[in-house]
Amino acid sequence: MPPLRIAFASDLHAGPTTHPTVLDDGFAALAAAEADVILLGGDYVFLTADRISEIARRLAQLPRPRLGIFAVMGNHDLWADDAAIAAALSQAGARVLVNERV
């Protein structure tokens, strides 16, 4: 069996204190990883869900890994608008997990 390549990212905190190049660099690293699966560990935004589009746009541009992209919410996402964040991530191609496993 070939090794499984997993890429993981979390705590992106898109918002007024996060420069767009930080997000660009992070998503470039995810793309360069050529992972079999991408796991997203939450805290996509800082304070409000207004900036989730910055994450979703970059996520939608990633090459699709053969096993998919999976996302969970973090505490910052729950404090913001987790439903809006989950919808944006889902539309961008991630499977959002809530009290489930894969």
Rounded to an integer, the average pLDDT of 78-96 is: 98
Tokens of 44: 């996509």
Under a CB-based contact definition with an 8 Å cutoff, are residues 27 and 61 in contact?
Answer: yes
Q: Return the pLDDT at 67.
A: 98
Q: Return the pLDDT at 1.
A: 83
The tens digit of pLDDT for each residue in 13-55 reads 999 999 999 999 999 999 999 999 999 999 999 999 999 999 9
Domains of the chain: 6-96 (3.60.21.40)
Task: Enumerate long-range contacts of 27-31, CB under 8 Å, 24 or more apart.
Answer: 27/58, 27/59, 27/61, 27/62, 30/62, 31/62, 31/63
Rounded to an integer, the average pLDDT of 57-61 is: 98
Provide the CA 17 distance to its chain's centre, in angstroms. Answer: 18
Q: Report which secondary-structure segment, H or E, holds 70.
A: strand 69-71
Mean pLDDT of the chain: 97
Model confidence, pTM = 0.94
- For the cut 90, the answer to whether the pLDDT of residue 2 exceeds it is no
Tokens of 23: 């997000």
